Amino acid sequence: MVFRAGVKAGDGVSKMSDDWGSCVEREIVMPTTLAGQRFDAAVHHVWPEFSRGRLQKWIKAGAITANDRPIQNKTTVRGGERVRLLAELTPEQNWSPQAAELDVRFEDDDFLIVNKSAGVVVHPAPGHAENTLVNALLYHAPQLAHLPRAGIIHRLDKETTGLLVVAKSLMAHAALVEALQARRIKRAYLALVWGLVTGSNTVNKPIGRHPRVRTKMAVVDSGKPAVTHFQIKQRFAQHTLLDVQLETGRTHQIRVHLASMGLPIVGDPVYGGRQRVVAGASFLVRERVAAFRRQALHATALSLAHPRSGETVCVEAPIPEDFRALLNALSETTA
Helices (H) and strands (E) in the chain, counts: 7, 17
CA gap 253, 251 in Å, rounded: 5
- From the list 157, 221, 268, 322, the catalytic residue is 157
Question: Would you state the torsion angle of the CA atoms of residues 152, 50, 143, 177, taken in this order, to the nearest 10 degrees?
Answer: 30
CA gap 160, 191 in Å, rounded: 10
- Residue pair 299/161 in contact by the 8 Å Cβ criterion: yes
Residue of 322, 330, 297 lying closest to 190 (CA atoms)? 297
Residue of 256, 228, 264, 227 lying closest to 243 (CA atoms)? 228
| Identity of the amino acid at 97 | P
CA gap 98, 117 in Å, rounded: 16
Distances (CA, A) of 160 to 56, 264, 279, 314: 34, 14, 27, 20
DSSP structural state of residue 210: -
User: Which residues are CB-neighbours of 129 under 8 A, at least 6 positions away?
Assistant: 95, 96
Q: How far apart are the first and last CA of the chain?
A: 41
CA gap 23, 303 in Å, rounded: 34
| Identity of the amino acid at 65 | T
* 157 in catalytic set: yes
Return the active site residues.
157
